[in-house]
Amino acid sequence: MTTPRDPRAARLAHLAALVADGTRAVCLLALLDGRAWTAGELARYAGVAPSTLTGHLDRLVTGGLLAEERQGRHRYVRLAGPRAAQLVEELAAWSGPADLPRRGGLRAATADSAMARARTCYDHLAGRLGIALTDALADRGLLLRETGFALTGAGLEWFAANGIALDPGGRRPLARACLDWTERRPHLAGAAGAALCRHALETGWCARIGSERAVRVTAAGERALRDLLGVPPDALR
C-alpha cells in the first residue's frame, strides 16, 4: 500500500486496508452480529493463532472500527458503533449480494434456514421478518420506501403510541435502508430499526435462538405484529 501525497487519499487507503485482509474480514463479518467477542473466540473462529489475532485487533481498534473492553484476562471487542456496522454492511453488500454459503450438513442447513427467516443485522431485524416489517410499515403509510427511506408523520406517531422510544438525540438517521443479503431487498435500519428490534426482544415478540444471530418470532409476537401492523403470520415462516 503505497502512501500518496494527498492526505485524504492516504486516509481512505488506510481505512480500506483495515478491511482488506481475509482474517480481519472474517472478524468484521462475525462482529456484525452486534455482540462482543473475546479475542480467543475470534481467533478460533478465524482459524489463526492467538498471537496473530492480537495484531489484527490492535489495528482494527486503532483504526476506529472496533471498540474494546478489557475484563480481567479477557479482551472483548465489538464494532465501534452503528456507523462502523453500516460501513461493513455496505462493503459486504457490494462485494457479494449472492449465494449465502452452504456449509453442508443438515445442522448447518437448519441454522441457515433459521437465519433466513429472522435474524439480527447488527442492531436491527433482518431476514424475512425484517422484510415483512418493512413491507407492513410501508403499506400502512408509516414509512416511505419508494422515494427514499423515511418515516412519515404517521410513522412517528405509531412509534410513540406503541411506546417504542426513538432516541432523538443521536446524529444517526432515524430510518435508512439496509440491503439484506438473503432477501436482496432493503429493510428498515437506522435508529427506528434499532428501536423496533430492541422493543421486540424486550417485550418478547422475538427471542434469540441460542447465542446466534438468528431469532424466532414467539406466539405473542405473531399476535402483536398482526394486530399492530397487519403482518400476516405466513410472512414470518
Partner DNA sequence: GGGACGGTTCGGTCCCGGCCGAAGTTTCCC
Partner DNA sequence: GGGAAACTTCGGCCGGGACCGAACCGTCCC
With CB cut-offs between 5 and 8 Å by kind, which of a copy of itself, DNA, none does residue 78 bind? none
Tell me if 55 contacts a copy of itself by CB under 8 A: no
Report residue 19 as a C-alpha cell: 478491511
Tell me if 43 contacts DNA by CB under 7 A: yes
Candidate residues 72, 105, 148, 169; the one interacting with a copy of itself per rule CB under 8 A: 148
Tell me if 71 contacts a copy of itself by CB under 8 A: no
Q: Which of 166, 173, 227 is nearest to 198 (CA)?
A: 166
Check if the beta carbon of residue 117 is closer than 8 Å to that of residue 100: no
Tell me if 23 contacts a copy of itself by CB under 8 A: yes
With CB cut-offs between 5 and 8 Å by kind, which of a copy of itself, DNA, none does residue 235 bind? none
Candidate residues 27, 32, 36, 39; the one interacting with DNA per rule CB under 7 A: 39
Report residue 89 as a C-alpha cell: 454492511
Tell me if 234 contacts a copy of itself by CB under 8 A: no
Tell me if 4 contacts a copy of itself by CB under 8 A: yes
Candidate residues 96, 170, 204, 230; the one interacting with a copy of itself per rule CB under 8 A: 96
Q: 15 or 228, CB closer to a copy of itself?
A: 15
Q: Is 77 helix (H, G, I), strand (E, B) or coil?
A: strand
Cβ neighbours of residue 198 under 8 Å, at least 6 residues apart?
123
Q: 50 or 232, CB closer to DNA?
A: 50
Tell me if 218 contacts a copy of itself by CB under 8 A: no
Tell me if 22 contacts a copy of itself by CB under 8 A: yes
Q: 22 or 101, CB closer to DNA?
A: 22
Check if the beta carbon of residue 29 is closer than 8 Å to that of residue 17: no
Question: Taking contact as CB under 8 A, which single stretch among the options 15-23, 67-75, 113-121, 200-208 is the one that binds a copy of itself?
Answer: 15-23
Q: Compute CA distances 229 → 57, 132, 188, 232, 233, whole Å.
A: 42, 10, 14, 9, 11
Beta strands at 186-189 and 176-179: parallel, antiparallel or unpaired: antiparallel
* Angle (nearest 5°) at CA 20 between 25 and 124: 40
Cβ neighbours of residue 204 under 8 Å, at least 6 residues apart?
218, 220, 221
Candidate residues 5, 7, 22, 163; the one interacting with DNA per rule CB under 7 A: 22
Report residue 6 as a C-alpha cell: 494527498
With CB cut-offs between 5 and 8 Å by kind, which of DNA, a copy of itself, none does residue 110 bind? none
Candidate residues 12, 40, 103, 167; the one interacting with DNA per rule CB under 7 A: 40
